[in-house]
Amino acid sequence: MLTDEIELIDQHCHGIVAADLNRPEFEALLGEGRRGSFESALGLAVRRWCAPVLGLPAHAPAEEYLARRGELGWREVSARLLRAAEVSRWLVDTGFGFDPAFAELCGGEVAEIVRIESVAERVIAEYGLTAAVFDEIERALRDSARGAAGLKTIAAYRCGLDFPAHGVPPAASAVSGSRLTDPRVLSWLVGLAARISAETGLPLQFHTGFGDTDLRLRRADPLLLTDFLRATEDTGATVVLLHCWPFHRNAAYLANVFGHVHLDLGLTIPHVGHRASAVLAEALELAPFARLGYSSDGCGLAELHYLGARLWRRGLGQVLDEWIADDAITVADAEQLVAAVGAGNAARLYPGATPRFGHRPDSSDRPLR
Amino acid sequence: MLTDEIELIDQHCHGIVAADLNRPEFEALLGEGRRGSFESALGLAVRRWCAPVLGLPAHAPAEEYLARRGELGWREVSARLLRAAEVSRWLVDTGFGFDPAFAELCGGEVAEIVRIESVAERVIAEYGLTAAVFDEIERALRDSARGAAGLKTIAAYRCGLDFPAHGVPPAASAVSGSRLTDPRVLSWLVGLAARISAETGLPLQFHTGFGDTDLRLRRADPLLLTDFLRATEDTGATVVLLHCWPFHRNAAYLANVFGHVHLDLGLTIPHVGHRASAVLAEALELAPFARLGYSSDGCGLAELHYLGARLWRRGLGQVLDEWIADDAITVADAEQLVAAVGAGNAARLYPGATPRFGHRPDSSDRPLR
Amino acid sequence: MLTDEIELIDQHCHGIVAADLNRPEFEALLGEGRRGSFESALGLAVRRWCAPVLGLPAHAPAEEYLARRGELGWREVSARLLRAAEVSRWLVDTGFGFDPAFAELCGGEVAEIVRIESVAERVIAEYGLTAAVFDEIERALRDSARGAAGLKTIAAYRCGLDFPAHGVPPAASAVSGSRLTDPRVLSWLVGLAARISAETGLPLQFHTGFGDTDLRLRRADPLLLTDFLRATEDTGATVVLLHCWPFHRNAAYLANVFGHVHLDLGLTIPHVGHRASAVLAEALELAPFARLGYSSDGCGLAELHYLGARLWRRGLGQVLDEWIADDAITVADAEQLVAAVGAGNAARLYPGATPRFGHRPDSSDRPLR
């Protein structure tokens, strides 16, 4: 298959749980709602693709898979799966903790994506709600951005992507508690991140589309960002829409009409399993080939990091094999396309970033994406 | 095909019109907008699949089909089609009338789904708008629930699924007329039904997605239930999202993240005809296999009950044949999957229910779903 | 293929740029966001299908394609592409200008679609905001409608399809500036157009779904027209939903339940390139075959007019070949279906219209669709 050998840059993932897991713990991490199950497209994909990496036959039953996982231990399992992903560069959102074991095991370069809400909440926890807190947040965010590969916002979780248009920091009194949910504060924070993106060239990633139960999915439709995108279009800022399902066609449209918008399918790919090619084909209807990228959004289980890569390579390969067979594209153009979406686009987007994992993740933050 | 022989439980359908029909009458029942036509995916499916059941060649022209239908008479036609569906158990929403002929003809067990709006409207018609009417509605609903297989709400039709969160009965004065459309009353009624579901184990079915012209489809998106689902998640209540198209991916997401949410594709399957496998494949992206079920939503014409079953078996079989061919699932796992979604999941969900068709359907209610 | 020879009526397109273009100018016109690119599904389709029409090998590189285009000159290129579309009748929205060269080059009959916002703005520019302006608009619109093939509204661009329900003209003071964006005025204007449609039989076309960056795509969902459709259902008015993607399933549903609603996929088809058959298959789930039509929405580049026709024929042919192979439809029925959606439905919908291109397009209007 055309995509078997392509380089991949995983532009958005999380760390792994550095511990052995029993079945309930494993299945909880398999699902976005913390209620995952082997009886799902994702569960089938784990048994089909991950089992052989652990030395089992493809489709090994769940119990055998977990027994083998326990036998090998989390460290060996994670090392095997992360290396099997054959990802050359991992951009890791450290927003809810990060075990340095990942960097040791993953067999690639690791750089950091800074979650802007975590930075802001850390500053608020330290400084309290003084009038100066917004200046301190800006200072901390600019500081965090140095050496990072990109910024990321989870405004979709906190207030929805229909946050109001703002340019100035709200009165400090608007902030209550250490968990940011106020749409005005989040709007200010996202606006600040967009300015930093414009100044530094660091892309600003948005969680969009499906995620766990903390989300109201309707408010995670990337179309809600239309006014924000219009406002930032000519500023030099760069926006990356992550995940996107079931709004991936909407995201592709936004990338089609706004020159500073990129997208990927993130956790969609491992979750939909065998349907990866179908979802990718929908995204490719309108997405400019130069602004589609790859990420796994792998989180907790190295299975997700691996399946993201495995199913992306396979799904994209299936789409392009069909296009080639139908004479819709030449082999040479298809090779260029897969090289671009696998790594070329991301290499241009996230040029240089220094790993800096001395940073203390805010472990009080809930494990959201 | 893998699914040719599987048992089916039809978890949501309606009765049939116990009368012979001319072409306009037949076509009206073929469409959700009472403007159906043979010139549609559904019409093609009737000619392809139902004609042979009536002893005609596949694809017999519409006129021949209707002539043959008239020749055999509605009773013989319905008996043939309902039996050809090979459904072992039919759960019938009796909310807008039910002819006992269905039970005689269908060749399976029949149990009742209680439409909560019909019960409430019957009580209001009897008691008027006294202060005590909400207590009477609760009494009547609990009474109706005894022996029923489940409850069902058509709040999507009456006020949309974005009804407000409520716990207490609104002032009786809020009720005007005998047709419930007030969002506050409907919210209270749905909340009551959720409590009864939690106490009795009876699932609460929601009409979601497409239906007839009385509907505002945007307000039938199951995502609008997110807050309701979050509130009921740990109460013991069970929710079934019916139909869902074109929001079936949204419904699958909800079932993925909320452990008490089930879904089916209902009337989607007969209506989309040959596209049944494509729509099923989309639903299977995120739907947990243990919480996907089957229903036809057949209403008026036994053709719909039959096509639901025929196209579901065929569509699901096509999806799984492809998965097997691509080595995405083993034959044994595929067999388990189709057994579960065809009947196993429903058998667990609707364990014991006594048919009780002495109940007087509210014939003044319009024939909505 | 079944569709190779079918007649096509293009029920909605625009003129072409009567000038030679450099690469940035060409690519700008290739994209809805004025940021088109050869690196897209549409770009691949241009190279695959248009290159041979210009005498190049299929898949010729972009630079060669543009060089050849320059060599032949815009007039020869446009003539070749428009004629290769083999469209018997072009209905042209003249709302933002129209070069008479199109009619000379296209090899078919040309009739006019009147953009109602352009007419209204011309009147306002002439008469100012006097109390009589609404009467003048009505007079001008009725005048423009004579000899036209249909009416068209771009309310989706101006205020969104969730405009309020209105029957009476708003106070003239509500109109400010010459560009109509006031939802009340647009609602009145659309209502007027619906009355003219009912009286004259001229269909009223709505831009729905994707378009350029001036659009808020969420407000272009045709489901937002539900109340308007309910209100006009029995008036004799006829409504055509243009383009529709990514809401094409919603549009198909509306056509299914409302007898006066038609749809096409418009610019979707050239833009999604090889995916045309997949999108068409989704639309055919619920769209009545008698109310689906064809248009290219071609604008600026004759490539778009040609690709609309080429990819529609091919995509529809692929869908029906698959249906025939699976015995879901007979060859005879498939032939009827493609004849209807290619031209038969449109021939009934737009019976007689006199070309009248002496009309001065309002060249001050921005090039919106």
Instruction: Note the pLDDT tens digit of each residue in C12-30.
Output: 999 999 999 999 999 999 9
pLDDT score recorded for residue A344: 96
Residue-wise pLDDT tens digits, C299-334: 999 999 999 999 999 999 999 999 999 999 999 999
Chain C residue numbers with beta carbons less than 8 Å from the beta carbon of A219 are none
For residue A52, being part of any structural domain is answered with: yes
| Residue in C58, C216, C272 closest to A226 by CB | C216
For residue B181, being part of any structural domain is answered with: yes
pLDDT score recorded for residue A22: 94
Number of DSSP helices (H) and strands (E) in chain A, helices first: 17, 7
Check if the beta carbon of residue A98 is closer than 8 Å to that of residue A15.
Answer: yes
Determine the residue of chain C that is closest to B311 in CA distance: C328
Distance from CA of B68 to the nearest CA of C (A): 20
Long-range contacts of A71-75 (CB under 8 A, 24+ apart): A73/A20, A74/A16, A74/A17, A74/A18, A74/A19, A74/A20, A74/A21, A75/A18, A75/A101, A75/A105
A306 shares contact with chain C (CB less than 8 Å): no
A234 shares contact with chain C (CB less than 8 Å): no
Helices (H), chain C: 23-30, 41-45, 51-53, 62-72, 74-84, 101-105, 116-127, 133-145, 155-158, 183-200, 226-232, 248-257, 268-272, 276-283, 302-325, 331-339, 345-349
For residue A89, being part of any structural domain is answered with: yes
Residue-wise pLDDT tens digits, B108-124: 999 999 999 999 999 99
Q: What distance in Å separates the CA atoms of residue C303 and residue C65, rounded to the nearest whole number?
A: 12
A273 shares contact with chain B (CB less than 8 Å): yes
Interchain proximity A257–C58, CB inside 8 Å? no
| Per-residue CA distances from B149 to B93, B109, B365, C5, C223 (Å) | 10, 12, 21, 55, 34
Interchain proximity A273–B328, CB inside 8 Å? yes
A200 shares contact with chain C (CB less than 8 Å): no
Q: Residue C174's domain spans which residues? A: 8-349
Q: Is residue C146's pLDDT more than 90?
A: yes
Average pLDDT in the A109-123 region?
Answer: 95
Determine the residue of chain A that is closest to B253 in CA distance: A210
Chain C residue numbers with beta carbons less than 8 Å from the beta carbon of A233 are 213
Q: Are strands A87-93 and A261-263 parallel, antiparallel or unpaired?
A: unpaired
How buried is C130 (Cβ within 10 angstroms: 0-12 exposed, 13-18 middle, 19+ buried)? Answer: exposed
Structure tokens at B354: 């006594």
Determine the residue of chain B that is closest to C330 in CA distance: B59
pLDDT score recorded for residue A217: 97
Domain count, chain C: 1
Furthest C-alpha separation in chain A: 64
For every one of its 369 residues, what pLDDT tens digit does chain B have, with 9 covering 90 and above?
888 889 999 999 999 999 999 999 999 999 876 678 999 999 999 999 999 999 999 999 999 999 999 999 999 999 999 999 999 999 999 876 677 889 999 989 999 999 999 999 999 999 887 778 999 999 999 999 998 999 999 999 999 999 998 767 777 655 666 788 999 999 999 999 999 999 999 999 999 999 887 899 999 999 999 999 999 999 999 999 999 999 999 999 999 999 999 999 999 999 999 999 999 999 999 999 999 999 999 999 999 999 999 999 999 999 999 999 999 999 999 999 999 999 999 999 998 655 444 333 333 333 333
B245 shares contact with chain C (CB less than 8 Å): yes
Residue-wise pLDDT tens digits, B312-368: 999 999 999 999 999 999 999 999 999 999 999 999 999 865 544 433 333 333 333
C28 shares contact with chain B (CB less than 8 Å): no
What CATH number has the domain bearing residue C203?
Answer: 3.20.20.140
Quickly state the pLDDT bin for A47 (edges 50, 70, 90).
very high
Quickly state the pLDDT bin for C341 (edges 50, 70, 90).
very high
| Residue in A216, A218, A271 closest to B286 by CB | A271
- The whole-chain average pLDDT of chain C stands at 91
For residue C362, being part of any structural domain is answered with: no
Subunit partners of chain B (3 or more CB pairs within 8 A): A, C
Furthest C-alpha separation in chain B: 64
B339 shares contact with chain A (CB less than 8 Å): no
For residue C276, being part of any structural domain is answered with: yes
Between residues C111 and C169, the one the model is more confident about = C111
For residue A157, being part of any structural domain is answered with: yes
For residue B237, being part of any structural domain is answered with: yes
Interchain proximity B41–C330, CB inside 8 Å? no
Chain A and chain B share a number of CB contacts under 8 A equal to 79
- The whole-chain average pLDDT of chain B stands at 91
Interchain proximity C275–A284, CB inside 8 Å? yes
A223 shares contact with chain B (CB less than 8 Å): no
Distance from CA of C220 to the nearest CA of A (A): 11
Distance from CA of C85 to the nearest CA of B (A): 27
For residue C2, being part of any structural domain is answered with: no
- Residue B249 CA, chain-centre distance (Å), reads 18
pLDDT score recorded for residue C5: 84
Q: What distance in Å separates the CA atoms of residue C354 and residue C202, rounded to the nearest whole number?
A: 13
Chain B residue numbers with beta carbons less than 8 Å from the beta carbon of A31 are 256-257
Check if the beta carbon of residue B187 is closer than 8 Å to that of residue B152.
Answer: no
pLDDT score recorded for residue C172: 61
Q: Phi and psi at residue B113, in whole multiples of 5°? A: -105, 125
pLDDT score recorded for residue A175: 60
A288 shares contact with chain C (CB less than 8 Å): yes
